[in-house]
Amino acid sequence: MSTSETVYLNGEFMPLENARVPVLDRGFIFGDGVYEVIPVYSRRPFRLPEHCRRLQRSLDAVRIANPMTDAEWARLVGELVARNADEDQYIYLQVTRGVAKRDHAFPRDAKPTVFVMSSPLATPARELVENGVPCVTAVDFRWLKCDVKSVSLLGNCLLRQAAADAGAAETVLFRDGWLTEASASNVFVVKGGRLLAPPKNHLMLPGITYDVVLELAAAKNIPAEVREIAEREVRDADELWLTSSTREVLAITTLDGRPVGGGRPGAVFKTVYQAYQEFKRKVMRQAA
Ligand code: PMP
């Protein structure tokens, strides 16, 4: 890890190694906080208003007052991007309920802790885009508020480790026989030329990339259906994709060791992947 990164903590910019949070921070004690991850291309944050909106939704869901306006978040993110070296970065921002004597119930007067850091953004290597990635599956045993981007990620960490243990890229999750998402990505299915996506509800994170992909599919006249997807349909899919802000769109080419469709990234994936790259370039030019 580079030690020259500049981070922001509670009103101040400082080198990463100087950033300290008291051990009684409720983020540390209870995982009591929410976060966002925002990709930055050519020093321009991608879909920042949408990330701010999702942050507000998460904060509302856990009853933490937003410590900043969207304009203040935008200024802070812009300043942190400027203070870090890479053209492409990803911003991690986290708001916890703050520091208080340990008690499960909310403290009356704690001030939210605000931490923001930037890391170099490496989008997936060409090899991964061209060959796709292996995934495994697991039962989704997480809580019933998966739409909240909470820093309490123990379930997601355990599920992702199952993939790591198997030498796979991700763990695709089923709850009661229905597709939800993956440990840190959303999942799309292609069958017979149709794109299928699970509906946004309390069982999955409403991905910013998920929305972009559905918009691009519409723009490319790819028929798409947002509906519940049975495990059997996932296992019979022609194509499966992962989407996330840092991984963009990636094809899943094996699931539990069995090839997905022809075992290669499919035609619909290629169309949407290309469209995603073009869209990024267009948005970046407009923002310039
Ligand atoms: N689901 C989960 C559980 C995630 O952690 C993420 C983000 N890594 C996503 C979906 C994708 O969301 P986004 O496209 O906003 O990155």
Nearest to 185 by CA among 154, 224, 146, 152: 146
Rounded to whole angstroms, the Cα distance separating 215 from 272 reads 10
- Three state DSSP letters for 226-262: ECCCEHHHHHCCCEEEEEECCCEEEEEEEECCEECCC
| Ramachandran region, residue 206 (left: φ > 0; alpha: ψ -120 to 50; beta: rest) | beta
pLDDT in tens, 196-220: 999 999 999 999 999 999 999 999 9
Taking CA atoms, 30 is separated from 66, 152, 187, 246, 279, in Å, by 19, 8, 29, 27, 39
Tell how far the Cα of 50 is from the centroid of ligand 1, in angstroms. Answer: 13
Angle of CA points 108, 112, 114, to nearest 5°: 175
Task: Give me the CATH topology for the region 6-120.
Answer: D-amino Acid Aminotransferase; Chain A, domain 1 (3.30.470)
Tell how far the Cα of 197 is from the centroid of ligand 1, in angstroms. Answer: 14
Rounded to whole angstroms, the Cα distance separating 207 from 202 reads 12
3-state secondary structure at position 191: strand
Binding site membership of 180 for ligand 1 (Cβ less than 6 Å):
no
Residue nearest to atom 5 of ligand 1 (CA): 184
pLDDT in tens, 145-182: 999 999 999 999 999 999 999 999 999 999 999 999 99
Domain ranges of the chain: 6-120, 126-285
DSSP letters spanning 81-117: HHHSS-SSEEEEEEEE--B-SS-SSPPSSPPPEEEEE
Using pLDDT thresholds of 50, 70 and 90, give the confidence band for residue 285.
confident
Q: Which two tokens stand for residue 168?
A: 């796979």
**Residue 240, strand partner residues:** 189, 252
Residue nearest to atom 8 of ligand 1 (CA): 184
Using pLDDT thresholds of 50, 70 and 90, give the confidence band for residue 38.
very high
Rounded to whole angstroms, the Cα distance separating 97 from 39 reads 25
pLDDT in tens, 5-33: 999 999 999 999 999 999 999 999 999 99
The owner of tokens 């998966």 is: 146
- Indicate whether 94 pLDDT > 60: yes
Binding site membership of 245 for ligand 1 (Cβ less than 6 Å):
yes
Give pLDDT, residue 288: 65
Pocket test for ligand 1, best of 40, 144, 151, 205 (most atoms within 8 A of CB): 205
- Indicate whether 248 pLDDT > 80: yes
- Indicate whether 36 pLDDT > 70: yes
Active site residues: 149
DSSP conformational letter for 265: -
Tell how far the Cα of 196 is from the centroid of ligand 1, in angstroms. Answer: 17
Strands 133-139 vs 170-175: parallel, antiparallel or unpaired: parallel
Rounded to whole angstroms, the Cα distance separating 80 from 67 reads 17
Binding site membership of 207 for ligand 1 (Cβ less than 6 Å):
yes
Q: Which two tokens stand for residue 205?
A: 């994170």
Using pLDDT thresholds of 50, 70 and 90, give the confidence band for residue 4.
low
Rounded to whole angstroms, the Cα distance separating 195 from 178 reads 16
Tell how far the Cα of 258 is from the centroid of ligand 1, in angstroms. Answer: 25
Task: Give me the CATH topology for the region 126-285.
Answer: D-amino Acid Aminotransferase; Chain A, domain 2 (3.20.10)
Binding site membership of 184 for ligand 1 (Cβ less than 6 Å):
yes
Neighbours of 45 (CB within 10 A): 21
Dihedral angle over CA of 47, 51, 53, 57, nearest 10: 160
Binding site membership of 205 for ligand 1 (Cβ less than 6 Å):
yes
Binding site membership of 181 for ligand 1 (Cβ less than 6 Å):
yes
Specify the ligand 1 atom closest to the Cα of 51. Answer: 15
Neighbours of 72 (CB within 10 A): 12
Tell how far the Cα of 248 is from the centroid of ligand 1, in angstroms. Answer: 10
